[in-house]
Amino acid sequence: MEYEIGADESVSTAVLRAVSAVEGREPRTLRPLADVVDPAALDTLFDPRYDGTPRTGGRLSFVYNECYITVDNGEYLTLQLLEDRLCDERTQEPSASCIW
């Protein structure tokens, strides 16, 4: 699933909304994001600089609630269920789309 982060939406809020949509659950029923990553630090990584100029580039990936999440440039995030990323060593070669 790809999710576009809204202009007035924090990255941490976007993660919760996207994961809850994928899992079909209310955000408040999810494991606390703070168990995996500091939400304030996550937001700060992609916030504009002190002079107001946007940060460009940047990518962060982590696992939260059985989802592999990648945040790109604070504008988009991609979610993939861990079960979809796991590879069977007997049938697949290693690739960027699977975890070994």
In whole numbers, what is the pLDDT of the chain averaged over residues?
86
d(CA 42, CA 18): 15
Residue 87 identity: C
Q: Which H or E run includes 40?
A: helix 39-46
pLDDT digits (tens, 9 = 90+) for 45-61: 998 888 988 888 889 99
User: In residues, how long is the chain?
Assistant: 100
pTM beyond 0.85: no
DSSP bridge pairs for 60:
71
